[in-house]
Amino acid sequence: MDIHWDDLRIYLAVARTESLSAAGKILRVDPATVGRRIARLEEMLGSPLFAKSPQGYALTDAGQRLLAHAERAEQAMGAAVAELQGQTGTLAGQIRIGAPDGCANFLLPQVCAAIMADNPDLDVQIVALPRVFNLSKREADMAIGVSPPNAGRLSVQKITDYRLHLAASRAYLRHAPPITCLEDLAQHRVVGYIADMIFDKELDYLAEIGVPRVALASNSVSVQFNWVRNGAGIGVVHDFAMPFGRGLRKILPETVSLTRSFYLIRHADDRRLERLNRFAAALCDGIRAEVARLEEAAG
C-alpha cells in the first residue's frame, strides 16, 4: 500500500479544521478535490477516517489512530526541508505567529522586519487575535501568550516581562477633574476590556486595580489605545505602546504599576525543527530588545 505524503497533508488539514472548505482554503485546493482525496485515502485504508455531521468533519476511531502517525510524517518532512534550507545559512519559507493584538501591533512588526532583513526568502504571517491559539490544530507555527498554558503537548519559554500603567492624553487631562488617588477615577471615563470577552485572567487589569465601571470597552487593545490616545478617557496602556501615542501621560504611576510577561508557546514536536528553533531564538531576542527600548523611551 503506497500512501503519499500529499494525501496525509490533506488529511491533517481536514482533521485540524474539521471542514473541507477550510482545509481547501489553507491548502489552496478546491474543497471538492479535498473530498475526493479523503475518499481515496479512506478507500486505500479500508476504513472511514471522518464522520460528517452538521458541525463538520469529526475524526473516527480510525482517524484518531492515524493522526499521530501523520503528524510524525509531517515532522519528518519539516525536518528534511529545514535541513536542506539550513545549508544556505538563512531562513526561508513561511512562518505564522499568533499573538495578542498588543504584541502584534506594537512589537512584532519591527521585530519581524529586522529578522526578514537578514532572511530575504522568509515569509512571516502575524495573526493578531484576542484569544488563545490552538497549536494542535496548527493555527500557527508558534504563539505568544500572556500566561503559560498548563495542558497539551506544548513547549513554553518565557520571553520577557513588560510593564503597564494608567494613562491619558494631555488633551483629555486639560479639561478633566484632577486625579490624585484611585477613587478619583470614578469621575472619569475609563477605557478597558469587555468583561465577558477577557480571554486570559492576566488581562483583567481594571479588576485588579478596583475599577468597577468601564465606560468605553473593546476586546481589542488597539481600539482601547486609540481611544486613550484620542482623548476619550483613561485606560491601562502598555509602556511599550506609549511612544506610539504622542501626548500620552502616565497617571498615578507610583500607585498603579502592573507587570506581566510574554511567553513563546510551540508544539512540543517542533523543538526538533532547526528552522523554527532559529526563528524562535531571533524572535525572542528581538522582542526582549524592543520591549526594553520602547519602555525606556516611555520613561
Confidence grade of residue 151 (pLDDT, cut at 50, 70, 90): confident
Let me know if the fold of 91-160+261-298 is the same as that of 162-259: yes
Residue 34 in this model has a pLDDT that exceeds 80: yes
pLDDT at 60: 92
Highest mean pLDDT among 127-141, 245-259, 262-276: 245-259
The pLDDT value given to residue 295 = 96
pLDDT score of 86 more than 90 = no
Banded pLDDT at 168 (limits 50, 70, 90): very high
Cut 0.85: pTM above it: no
CATH level 3 topology of 162-259: D-Maltodextrin-Binding Protein; domain 2 (3.40.190)
The larger pLDDT score, comparing residue 276 to residue 224, is at: 224
**Of the candidates 209, 200, 214, which has an alpha carbon nearest to the alpha carbon of residue 258?**
209
pLDDT of residue 137: 62
- How many percent of the chain have pLDDT more than 70? 92
The CATH fold assigned to 5-85 is: Arc Repressor Mutant, subunit A (1.10.10)
Position 1 pLDDT exceeds 80: no
pLDDT higher than threshold 60 for residue 85: no
Which of the four pLDDT bands, split at 50, 70 and 90, describes residue 89?
Answer: low
CA distances from 282 to 78, 122, 276, 277, 286 (A): 19, 13, 10, 9, 6
Higher-scoring residue by pLDDT: 266, 140: 266
Quick one: average pLDDT of 75-85? Answer: 67
pLDDT at residue 138 in the model:
65
Measure the CA–CA gap between 266 and 80, rounded to whole angstroms: 19
The domain limits of the chain are 5-85, 91-160+261-298, 162-259
* Class level of CATH domain 91-160+261-298: alpha beta
pLDDT of residue 53: 86
